[in-house]
Chain A
Amino acid sequence: MTLQVDAPSEPSPAATAQAYRVTGRTVAARRIVGLLLVAVPLVWSWRQAMPDGSDVVNRSGLSLVADLFASMLHPQLSTEFLAVVLNAMVVTLVFAVLGTAGALAVGLAGGIVLSDAAWHSRPPRAVRALRLLIRSLLVAARSVHELVWALLFVSVLGLDPLAAVLAIAVPFGAQTAKIFGETLDGIPPGPLLTLRNAGARPIAALCYGLFPPAAPLLLSYTFYRFECAIRSAVVLGVVGLGGLGQELVVSLQSRNWDEVWTLVWAVLLLSAVVDLWNSRLRRDLAVVTCADWSGGQDAGARRSSRAEDRNARPATSRWARASAVVAVPGLLLAWLASEVSLSGLSSPRTRDLTVRLLDEMWPPALPNGGWPALAEAIPDTVAIAVLAMAVAVIITLVIGPWAGRARHGSFDERAHPTRHIPRKVAWWAARAVLLVLRSIPPTVWAVIALLALFPGVLPGALALGLYTGGILGRLVAEAWESVDTRPRDALRAIGTRGWLASVATIVPPSAHHLLTYTLYRFEICIRDTAVVGVVGAAGLGRLIAENLAAFRWPAVTTLLVASFALSVGSEAVGRRLRRALQGSAGEGRNRSGRARPPTSTTGGR
């Protein structure tokens, strides 16, 4: 599982006669390929961001940024404005709650359809064809960013809060369906098979044998999605749907810095509360970290194995019970407060606009500027994502190590309680910085970056990088917390110096986590470039926003197809790379294992 697969296997006496399976030369070659894979895109993106001879820094804007930070501690606190902020907070929260509820509905239905475990034997051909269709629809829904969904819904529904809710529910629902499907497939199949072998009906078998073990994981993921929905709901404000995002952009553009800071503190407050509540809940429910939810391919197995050896019992957790009690009335309250009504969906106007929209979107046409514009936007998009990842990785390397809770010895801690205070302060500080970075929507970072930088790849990359850094930092830190420390303790026990033992045993798996999550986040970053594009950075997102604003629907279709192709392509490359990282030893996932007689699935912890 770790990078150590690259290391030449130690010549055990029995093996010396045989040839090495991995020679020193292959190791060197792999290292060079790996280095090139990192260096070439970076250099290329940098050149893309810094075209020769054009200015990058907008000197006149620097003072604006200075003003902005000068008023950091003097937020606008008039009662009038505070009422506005409070109202915006409620709107954002309501969008997030309703959007998550919608995503949960889509996710449950889709997850059952996508999961192999939920289907008895090989389903008939018609069902398989339908599953394939649903799967591809969900992939398409996932590859379009919430913000673009919002723009599309707004052009059909107008500035209806329903547009915001749907814009969250559709892509989140598709993502939830994928994760739910993987989670159901990751549950040890034994109980379900036993029920089926005893002749239970399909639905009853699922309800007794599959859903109970999956429930804590599904619930935990739903709350994680809610956390993401809060961030998205802030971003959605940018297109004018209301909430904290809209207020933020308005205040930024009118340069009311004191208002900006009030709003920023409000955003941070909201995210911090949801964040803390959530991580507590996740710990109680299933000991699943955000990292487990984001790991892609191999995460399914780890999720369920983690859930296996948990100590917490959902039934006894006060947090879990309180959350369940709050959820339903909260949902109803949000529904009432939002004035969201589904009638907008069936109104003749909506139908009219939808028909016209679909009519005009086909056949697709090139955007203004033709192929060259498209040929310029795509590399720009990739360059933004690459540079953003570089920024994010730097942030993670600098802050991440402090944000991982040190696990060496609760014993130690009890003996010397004061010695760990600086470490704890550093932990809280690092977590706070990461929270700030990821809570402020990338759009806002982009608007700030655009004060000081000319539009182009660089401000977009910087904005997206700060935001992604906040997310990546947390993911990696959580994964680092789960690194097995026993090998290090073993080295220490034989007299190795402390830091050396850590470098030898903690760094290789940690580097592996960082690489995996970086690749995974890169795929998302490609999609997220839409967010910074909307405020005018560069890339496909910018073109989409421009063409949407001008109602050039045929061009929008082309751009959507292009971004779809780009995200599918990057996902394919990412998956290939991650699999290569796992080495050939990586498990072929349970699809093939399911056909064989069930061997001990619970044995390997």
Chain B
Amino acid sequence: MTASPPVIRLRGAGRRFGSHHAVADVDLTVYAGERVAVLGTSGAGKSTLLSMLNGSLSATSGEVEVLGANLANLSPSRLRAIQRRIGTVSQRLDLVNQVRVLHNVNAGRLGRWGSIRALAALAWPRADPTVTEALRRVGLPWAVHERTERLSGGERQRVAIARLLVQEPDLVVADEPVASLDPTRAAGILELLGVPGRPVTVVVSLHQPELARRHCTRAIGLRGGRLVFDLPVEHLDDRVLADLYTLT
């Protein structure tokens, strides 16, 4: 597996907002199948780093290479082709509440669909096996034709995961996907992030080191936008964490 090219390669990558360096000088290489937890206090640059990984923010310095392509100066259609293979989940879910669950799940496939097909699916909603299977796996087989806003918070969270599942991404970028969930739910969601049978790479920012230990293979720590550690989770001990969460 180490022979295959890395999924993510950052070289001195940084992002600046005005004079504020949200992320600075990060070197990071992630190989297929790794599950990387990003730890750090609020404002440490976790969200910015993840946005750089899925192409929604460009780096202001250094290089960001994802799935074999340098994300800087890609043409829009080339960028879309890469982004199609990157799944994004966030705490805010970003579902369209006004439409049926089916459409929110289908939204994961829009990258592969042509515009006509996408519009047709919006006009004549039909649940095909892919959608039904995804919803079955997240435990919401009954919700296909439900309006999304009628679901509870936890159910909507699972719809967002179903959307991720139909996208069949090679890389999953998850920004605090479980921040507002109870421990059992959180574990369930983190289980679902990895698709069994495929070497999906996951980069997930977390607030609970405990979850990182249980669900990830590797942990990186950010403080003030800089990488302060990069360890296998087994080496994630109290001293490292105390260092990370000490406010200076």
Residues of A at under 8 Å CB distance from B? 120-121, 190-191, 193-201, 203-205, 207-209, 212-213, 215-216, 313, 315, 595-598, 600-602
Contacts and interface: CB of A to CB of B under 8 A. Distances in A.
Contacts of A602: 92
B96 A209 contact: yes
Contact of A190 (B51, B94, B111): B94
A194 B111 contact: no
Ranked nearest first, the 4 interchain pairs of A and B with the lowest CB-CB distance are A199-B111, A199-B84, A200-B110, A204-B118
Contacts of B111: 198-201
Nearest to B169: A198
B182 to A, nearest CB: 20
B110 A194 contact: no
Given A191-B96, A208-B103, 16 more contacts: A193-B56, A194-B90, A197-B54, A198-B87, A198-B111, A199-B83, A199-B84, A199-B111, A201-B80, A203-B115, A204-B119, A207-B118, A207-B119, A212-B96, A213-B98, A596-B17
Contacts of A203: 115, 118-119
A198 B115 contact: no
B110 A198 contact: yes
Interface in B120-168: 122, 147, 149, 167
A313 B103 contact: no
A282 B240 CA distance: 57
Contacts of A600: 92
Interface in B68-110: 76, 79-88, 90, 92-99, 103, 106-108, 110
A597 B92 contact: no
Contact of A200 (B17, B82, B86, B107): B107
Contacts of B56: 193, 196-197, 597
B196 interface: no
Given A207-B119, A597-B57, A201 B96 contact: no
A198 B84 contact: yes
Given A197-B88, A212-B96, A313-B147, A204 B115 contact: yes
29 contacts: A121-B76, A191-B107, A193-B94, A194-B88, A195-B107, A196-B56, A197-B83, A197-B86, A198-B86, A198-B88, A198-B107, A198-B110, A198-B167, A199-B83, A199-B85, A200-B80, A200-B110, A201-B111, A201-B115, A201-B118, A203-B119, A208-B99, A212-B96, A213-B96, A213-B98, A313-B149, A596-B17, A597-B47, A597-B57
B114 interface: yes
B interface, over-half SS: mixed
Interface residues of B, number: 45
A392 to B, nearest CB: 37
A315 B54 CA distance: 35
B246 to A, nearest CB: 25
A208 B110 contact: yes
Contacts of B205: none
| Residue among A195, A197, A313 having the largest count of chain B Cβ atoms under 10 Å | A197
A204 B94 contact: no
B224 interface: no
A89 B223 CA distance: 71
B83 A198 contact: yes
A315 B147 contact: yes
A212 B99 contact: yes
A204 B121 CA distance: 10
A195 B56 CA distance: 11
Given A204-B118, A315-B147, A600-B92, A199 B82 contact: yes
Given A195-B110, A199-B81, A208 B96 contact: yes
Contacts of B114: 201
B48 interface: yes
A205 B107 CA distance: 8
Given A198-B83, A199-B81, A205 B110 contact: yes
